[in-house]
A and B are shown apart, each in its own frame.
Chain A
Amino acid sequence: MDRHSSLTTSRRWGIALVAVPLAFLAYFFIYPLATVLVTGFTSNGNIDLEPLRTVFGRDALLNVAWFTLWQAVASTLLTLLLALPAANVMARYEFPGKRLVRAAIVVPFVLPTVVVGSAFLALLGPQGPLGIDLRQTIWAILVAHVFFNYSIVVRTVGAYWERIDPSLLEAAQLLGASRSQVFRRVTLPILRPAIASAASLVFLFTFTSFGIILILGGIGQATIEVEIWRQATGLINFEVAAALAFLQISGISVVLFLYSRYQERRAVQFRHQPSQSAPRAITRGQQIHVVGNLAVMAVLLGAPIFVLIERSLRSASGYSFDAYTGLGDQISGLAAPATTAIWNSARFAVVATLIAVTIGLAAATVIAYRRGWLSRTFDALLMLPLGTSAVTLGFGFLLALDAPVDLRTSIWIIPIAHAMVAIPFVVRTAVPVLRSVRHRLREAAAMLGAPPERVWREVDLPLVTRAALIGAGFAFAVSLGEFGATSFLALPSNPTLPTAIFRLLGRPGTESFTSAMALSTILMIGTATTVLLIERFRRDTPGDF
């Protein structure tokens, strides 16, 4: 009798674990998205596919689609090329300040593009250190994309790399394999799922790139994301915007489908080693490798960040902290002192984190414990919001969420939208943790006769807690920097750090400008601190991000 009832309980739990994330996604993503598409494709009450014909019939729009695709592929490849060696350095070598470096490289990922865009304009302009004008060239876009996405590859792949059992590689070498053979035949196959996971995220982000294309791109250069925005808000042409949104979401779906198929076929089972204390670089070649990669990070990630900090310290009389000490005062153009924006950002981030961790952990449990169709679909479905344009989703909220409770202008929509962006990160952090426990402890405990709840409570829960804490840290950081998801809603003034920065940059006067830079610096420090705290939990825990 005991056995029977406990099975039903766990079944119920199982259903809830699927239902909760699904309900969230259905109401806050699929429903608004479907409403936007249906509205765009409906004329006089009939479904009309004319807008799609318009898109495929216009060369300019087809060029946009083609540019979107190839720049995303190029950005992803370039990011992999530059970040994979760094992933090796972070995984395999010990050096002073490593934890700080690991935390610092996440900073670019959460910076608002408006802020970074201005730094890149300064660096890549004719007065920049390179001395050549790369503005409005594809190179500016590619470099900025690498800047934003570098940490995804380093962290995702690095986390796998440091858990490859060195004896495996040594064995291959003993058997006569050259170093490059070891890499191609042993290391690479093990890393492939991690590389695919990182590459899919980078592709998603660059495929839907908006601010970077707008600020650094040339005239007439647009991704589908930019064109949706231009059609919807610049030309008020909702039909073409909806057709483009459909095209974008289709493209993303195809990529996510291929990705999950690939992961399913490629999934190599290998034993996760607890991460070992990595050795210091010994040979001259190793030292060059480590120092070289750190130099790349310093230039690529450090230079734009340095420009921002330097600008925040500028004042009429040389350098000063005026911009920081003035943040508590009323700054022209902001409805409230900038400290309010800091407080708002923290509040929204806490709520967003709670939502993201609840939903993300439920989803991660399903994905980790059930392989196959359900698990794959779930993973891909949760990533879809990352590849959906902010305009589409923002307008979808406005069209769909007016009943039963009018959420369209509620500030609750801010943490909900942030959570939607953060959930994939929670999932990707938690799944490997949950999977790592499955093989050994769970089965042993079950075999010893522990009922499922007890296994869960005593074996899974401690690990889940740790996964939750790591996931929470990333959700918090993502929410701190999130800007796009809510910028197309109409909300009562609740400035967050990114929105306050954006607003200040849109006003004349040096004071606004240095205040914006000071707030950006605070945002960077907040992010780096959050990530440093996460580092304390993540030791010895496998993680995807």
Chain B
Amino acid sequence: MPTKRSAVLVAILVTAMLVTACSDSSDSTDKPAELILMTHDSFALSAGMLEAFTQEYGIPVTVLESGDAGTMLSQAILTKDNPIADVAYGVDNTFLSRALEEGVFLEYESALLTNVPVDLAVDPRVTPIDFGDVCINYDKAAFSTTAPPQTLADLTLPEYRDMLVVQDPASSSPGLAFLLATISTFGEEGDYTWRHYWQGLKDNGVLVTSGWTEAYTGAFSGGGGGGTRPIVVSYASSPAVGVFFADPPPADAPTAALLDGCFRQVEYAGILTGTDFPEEAGLLVDYLLSVPVQEDIPLNMFVYPANSAAALPQVFTDYSPVPVATAEMSVETIERNRETWIDEWTDILR
């Protein structure tokens, strides 16, 4: 049956044609041809940063971007047995417990951990790289004659009616962080729980958007997108970033962060279980925690370095001080309750 065979041949040829010329599978020799870093799509470092690693160790670094942090973790779990990368960076504390349960990371202790505050390092399998605080931000111009809110509880008062915009915790990472901040602040039990608080916000006209972009650049009056609401859930670093990227830079930050009731998101890096090069992967983790990279992080990813030896950029120290008291919640508690809390929140706000 020559016809059948040629059909199969054609099929194979086409497939082969489409798949060739694109792989460079690394053999497990003594030194890797490259190290692959998988991360989320907010990852950014100044040009030349990763090349400096290559210069020092002779190993090129390829960065794989894979959607948001949740998408990246799903991918790491799905490819656990045959990983697509050597190091993953960007899993945060709202997802960490799940990542550890799935066993995607190898144990590793970086020598640089001595410079990292102990409360950030929660498990020997992951290394904290940076943290960011999700806080209420407000547009100063809207509060030139009246007082801006001082606490989370203030946001249910009539003077702040129809002013707040938040993100849906079901679809947004800062949205989830803010929900966790309110749960931590108002608690699960008692006369006034986080559920009462959210009912209060709803009665006071809170606007919910699907993501950070729609809230900050769409609905917020200080985000440059022509919005009208002067209070928004964003990051403690947002005021500094607003100043840094304004042209010309304003004399003072047009927005400010409310340092009460913030939630700290800590981002971790870890060596993926199936890597052929755990030792070199460790070098890359160390490099992410080294002072040059740590000092480069704030103005590229708008988060704070985990290494306390790294100096903050001037604009951060001027306009975006690190919140001192932030909501505390263990990664296990978050993992255990995340889905229930989101469902309950949805029922209240719907």
Interface residues of A (CB under 8 A from B): 8, 11-12, 15-16, 18-20, 22-24, 27, 39, 60, 114, 117-118, 121-122, 126-127, 136, 214-215, 217-220, 230, 232-238, 311, 316, 330, 332-333, 335, 355, 395, 398-399, 402, 404-412, 416, 487-493, 502-503, 505-506, 508-513
By a CB distance below 8 angstroms, the chain B residues around A219 are 168, 208, 346, 349-350
By a CB distance below 8 angstroms, the chain B residues around A332 are 44, 245, 300
19 additional A-B pairs beyond A399-B78, A412-B19, beta carbons within 8 Å, are A12-B6, A15-B4, A15-B6, A215-B214, A219-B168, A219-B349, A220-B349, A230-B171, A236-B74, A398-B75, A406-B25, A407-B19, A490-B38, A490-B72, A490-B85, A503-B41, A506-B42, A508-B238, A513-B217
Within 8 A of A (CB), among B253-294: none
Q: Is B216 an interface residue (CB 8 A)?
A: yes
Instruction: Identify which of B213, B219, B234 contacts A505 (C-beta below 8 A).
Output: B213
Q: Nearest CB to that of A222 among chain B residues?
A: B170
Let me know if B18 and A491 touch, CB within 8 A: no
Let me know if A118 and B70 touch, CB within 8 A: no
Query: Given A219-B350, A332-B245, A412-B19 in contact, is the A402-B68 Cβ separation under 8 Å?
Result: no
**Assembled-state Cα–Cα distance A409/B18 (Å):** 14
**Assembled-state Cα–Cα distance A506/B84 (Å):** 26
Whole-angstrom distance between the Cβ of B155 and the nearest chain A Cβ: 18
Q: Nearest CB to that of A413 among chain B residues?
A: B22
By a CB distance below 8 angstroms, the chain B residues around A16 are 6-7, 10
By a CB distance below 8 angstroms, the chain B residues around A492 are 62-65
Instruction: Identify which of B10, B171, B217, B302 contacts A234 (C-beta below 8 A).
Output: B171
Q: Nearest CB to that of B176 among chain A residues?
A: A234
- Interface stretch (choices B118-126, B186-194, B223-231): B223-231
Name 6 interchain pairs, CB-CB below 8 A, sorted by A: A20-B10, A23-B12, A60-B343, A409-B64, A411-B22, A493-B65
Whole-angstrom distance between the Cβ of B303 and the nearest chain A Cβ: 12
Let me know if B171 and A408 touch, CB within 8 A: no
By a CB distance below 8 angstroms, the chain B residues around A234 are 70, 170-171
Select the residue from A126, A220, A330, A512 with max chain B CB neighbours within 10 A.
Answer: A220
Let me know if A408 and B79 touch, CB within 8 A: yes
4 smallest beta-carbon distances between A and B, as pairs: A490-B66, A509-B245, A510-B224, A23-B11
**Assembled-state Cα–Cα distance A334/B212 (Å):** 18
Whole-angstrom distance between the Cβ of B163 and the nearest chain A Cβ: 14
By a CB distance below 8 angstroms, the chain B residues around A316 are 247-248
Q: Is B147 an interface residue (CB 8 A)?
A: no
Q: Is B241 an interface residue (CB 8 A)?
A: yes
Q: Nearest CB to that of A126 among chain B residues?
A: B228
**Assembled-state Cα–Cα distance A198/B248 (Å):** 51
By a CB distance below 8 angstroms, the chain B residues around A220 are 170, 346-347, 349-350
Q: Nearest CB to that of B162 among chain A residues?
A: A126
Whole-angstrom distance between the Cβ of A423 and the nearest chain B Cβ: 14
**Assembled-state Cα–Cα distance A8/B7 (Å):** 13
Instruction: Identify which of A24, A117, A405 contacts B214 (C-beta below 8 A).
Output: A117
* Cβ proximity bits B24-35 to A, threshold 8 Å, 1 near / 0 not: 010000000000
Q: Nearest CB to that of B169 among chain A residues?
A: A234
Within 8 A of A (CB), among B191-219: 208-214, 216-219
Let me know if A405 and B23 touch, CB within 8 A: yes
Q: Is B71 an interface residue (CB 8 A)?
A: yes
By a CB distance below 8 angstroms, the chain A residues around B238 are 508
Let me know if B70 and A236 touch, CB within 8 A: yes
By a CB distance below 8 angstroms, the chain B residues around A11 are 3
By a CB distance below 8 angstroms, the chain B residues around A513 are 217, 224-225
Let me know if A27 and B247 touch, CB within 8 A: no
Whole-angstrom distance between the Cβ of A339 and the nearest chain B Cβ: 15
**Assembled-state Cα–Cα distance A404/B20 (Å):** 10
Let me know if B246 and A506 touch, CB within 8 A: no
Query: Given A333-B44, A509-B242, A510-B224 in contact, is the A118-B84 Cβ separation under 8 Å?
Result: no
Whole-angstrom distance between the Cβ of A514 and the nearest chain B Cβ: 9
Whole-angstrom distance between the Cβ of B241 and the nearest chain A Cβ: 5
Q: Is B51 an interface residue (CB 8 A)?
A: no
By a CB distance below 8 angstroms, the chain B residues around A416 are 18
Let me know if B217 and A505 touch, CB within 8 A: yes
Query: Given A405-B22, A490-B65 in contact, is the A238-B245 Cβ separation under 8 Å?
Result: no
Q: Nearest CB to that of A358 among chain B residues?
A: B14
Select the residue from B218, B223, B338, B346 with max chain A CB neighbours within 10 A.
Answer: B218
Within 8 A of A (CB), among B50-109: 62-68, 70-75, 77-79, 82, 84-85, 95, 98
Let me know if B214 and A118 touch, CB within 8 A: yes
Q: Nearest CB to that of A509 among chain B residues?
A: B245
**Assembled-state Cα–Cα distance A20/B7 (Å):** 8
By a CB distance below 8 angstroms, the chain A residues around B217 are 118, 505, 508, 513
Whole-angstrom distance between the Cβ of A212 and the nearest chain B Cβ: 10
Let me know if B218 and A508 touch, CB within 8 A: no
Whole-angstrom distance between the Cβ of A315 and the nearest chain B Cβ: 9
Let me know if B3 and A12 touch, CB within 8 A: yes
**Assembled-state Cα–Cα distance A399/B38 (Å):** 16
By a CB distance below 8 angstroms, the chain B residues around A236 are 70, 73-74, 77, 95, 98
Whole-angstrom distance between the Cβ of A15 and the nearest chain B Cβ: 4
